[in-house]
Each structure stands twice: as structure tokens, then as C-alpha cells.
């Protein structure tokens, strides 16, 4: 990948602006009340899949006891998903093992259609580390693993059977994520019909209500784990890898908190 291209220079130049935007949005989210449902409507303007989360102000709900904020919007052709976390352990577990978003147009909570993005460092390749204990401790080595996982996405048409694809090979599907300054942000644009993509789409529910699930997985971190071994930051955009972040997983001088249990939450999305 050519990091000297004009596109990457634009990403690096815009980095400070995007980080400031994430901070503003995160502060705005802090006062919002949690809910198990959200009303989805069309975005007020063209929706950019860039993980800066500016479009999501006042359009997210809190799930998983303040560990994750999520939002869903839609128009005639697409579903838009936004996710934010500033909880240190959650940010770290998503980087290590990924985040899966499930869709059930029947209104139930069936894991028959989903997408894992990011896939997570530990899921990036069969020859890579398989547990936190196997993770390299050198920052640059971990950065290499993040670069490897950035362009990848796992599609699910059946629970437990991910299909690995390159994002660039999936017309219509857009995804972007960021791990910077203690925050994880992610945006997806999902086709609503095969007219936009015959690889992956989420049908329009007949009753105007969609269930969307968010799930993570991770192994417990030992309480005496080295606080200096947190993952470095990174940014990916529609499968790419951009500006390097810092303070990955949050700031602090003490050891990282023990990982909490996996997130496995569903929300009801009412389509207006």
C-alpha cells in the first residue's frame, strides 16, 4: 500500500480535526439516556463512512452498561451503523478480537446474518497469535498485525461460520474504524437489497422493525498484566490503514482493568 499517495496525505492532514470531532461527540453522548430501542430515519445530509461520528450526535443509544453506544439510520438504499466506545477494556477487546454486528429482519434475535468488523488482531490470520498471551510485546510488531487486519471483514450467513473477505471486493459495503486517543469509533454502510450488492445485504423488514445485535468476545486479562503492553492505536478507512493513534485503549498510569464479560446486546430499530 502506498502511504505517500495524496489520499493518505489528506487522511493525515485531517487527523487532528477528526480527533477533535470524536471528542466533541463523546462529550455530547455522555448525557444521553440508555435504551433498548432506537427510531431510525434518513440522515439529514450525505452520510460519509469515515468513523468520525459527527453525524451521530443525538442519534445513538447506550447499551452494555456504558461500554458501548450505537446508532442506526437508513434511507431507501442503505442502513448506516455507528458505534462508539471510550471504555478502556472494551476498546482493547474489540482491537484484539473484533466486533460483530448481527441483523435480523424478522424482529427476533437470530444470529443468521452478520458482519464482523474489525475482525481483530487475533482473528487476522491463521498463522498469527491466538491469545493475548501470544501477542507480541513490541509496539511495531503489533502495528504490523493491525495493518494486516485493517482491510478484512468477516461475513456471517450462519452463526459460527465466518466467511473472510477483503472489503475492496464487496461493492456497496462500506466500513471504517478508528482507534485513537482512548476511543473506538466505527461506521458501516450496509446495502438494503441485492441491487446495491449481491454479496451482502440486509432485507427490509415487512413490519418496519429490525433487530440489530452487537457482540464481542475476549479472554480474561490477568490482574497483574503489564500495563505497558496495551495495543498501539490505528485507523482504518473502508479497509485501509491510516494515521497512527496513541494512548490506545485509554490513558492512565495504573494497570489496565480486567476485561469484563463479552458484550452481547440487541436493540430494536423502528424504521420511519
pLDDT tens digits, one per residue of 48-81: 899 989 889 888 889 877 799 999 999 999 999 9
DSSP state of 146: H
> Would you say residue 163 lies in a domain?
yes
Q: Per mean pLDDT, which range of 68-72, 108-112, 195-199 is the poorest?
A: 195-199
Asked if residue 1 belongs to a domain, the reply is no
Q: Which of 129-138, 198-207, 232-241 has maximum average pLDDT? A: 198-207
In whole angstroms, how far apart are CA 213 and each of 59, 104, 151, 225, 265? 17, 8, 23, 31, 6
Q: Is residue 173 part of a domain?
A: yes
| Arithmetic mean of pLDDT, 158-183 | 91
Q: Which domain holds residue 265?
A: 6-251+258-271
- Determine, yes or no, domain membership for 246: yes
Q: CA dist 100 to 61, 144, 148, 215, Å?
A: 17, 22, 18, 5
Question: Cell triple for residue 38?
Answer: 432506537
Q: Is residue 30 part of a domain?
A: yes
The residues facing 116 across adjacent strands are 100, 154
Q: Where are the alpha helices (DSSP H) in 2-108?
A: 6-13, 15-29, 88-97
Q: Is the pLDDT of residue 44 over 80?
A: yes
Domain count, the chain: 1
Predicted confidence band at 224 (pLDDT cuts at 50, 70, 90)? low
DSSP 106: T
Q: Is residue 185 part of a domain?
A: yes
The pLDDT tens digits for 4-31 are 333 433 433 344 345 444 544 454 454 4
Which helix (H) or strand (E) segment holds residue 39: the answer is strand 37-40
Amino acid at each position: 500500500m502506498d502511504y505517500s499517495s495524496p489520499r493518505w496525505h489528506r487522511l493525515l492532514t485531517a487527523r487532528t480535526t477528526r480527533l477533535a470531532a470524536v471528542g466533541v461527540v463523546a462529550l455530547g453522548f455522555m448525557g444521553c439516556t440508555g435504551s433498548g430501542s432506537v427510531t431510525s430515519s434518513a440522515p439529514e445530509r450525505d452520510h460519509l463512512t469515515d468513523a468520525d461520528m459527527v453525524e451521530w450526535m443525538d442519534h445513538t443509544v447506550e447499551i452494555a452498561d456504558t461500554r458501548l453506544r450505537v446508532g442506526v439510520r437508513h434511507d431507501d438504499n442503505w442502513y448506516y451503523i455507528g458505534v462508539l466506545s471510550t471504555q478502556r477494556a472494551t476498546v482493547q477487546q474489540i482491537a484484539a478480537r473484533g466486533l460483530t454486528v448481527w441483523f435480523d429482519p424478522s424482529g427476533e434475535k437470530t444470529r443468521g446474518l452478520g458482519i464482523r468488523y474489525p475482525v481483530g488482531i487475533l482473528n487476522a490470520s491463521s498463522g498469527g497469535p491466538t491469545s493475548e498471551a501470544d501477542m507480541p510485546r513490541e509496539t511495531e510488531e503489533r502495528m504490523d498485525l493491525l495493518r494486516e487486519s485493517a482491510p478484512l471483514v468477516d461475513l456471517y450467513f450462519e452463526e459460527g461460520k465466518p466467511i473472510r473477505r477483503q472489503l475492496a471486493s464487496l461493492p456497496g459495503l462500506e466500513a471504517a474504524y478508528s482507534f485513537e486517543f482512548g476511543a473506538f469509533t466505527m461506521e458501516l454502510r450496509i446495502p438494503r437489497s441485492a441491487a446495491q450488492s449481491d454479496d451482502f445485504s440486509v432485507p427490509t423488514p415487512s413490519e418496519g422493525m429490525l433487530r440489530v445485535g452487537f457482540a464481542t468476545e475476549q479472554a480474561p486479562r490477568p490482574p497483574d498484566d503489564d500495563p505497558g503492553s496495551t495495543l498501539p492505536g490505528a485507523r482504518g478507512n473502508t479497509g485501509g490503514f491510516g494515521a497512527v493513534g496513541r494512548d490506545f485503549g485509554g490513558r492512565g498510569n495504573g494497570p489496565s482493568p480486567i476485561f469484563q464479560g463479552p458484550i452481547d446486546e440487541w436493540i430494536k430499530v423502528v424504521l420511519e
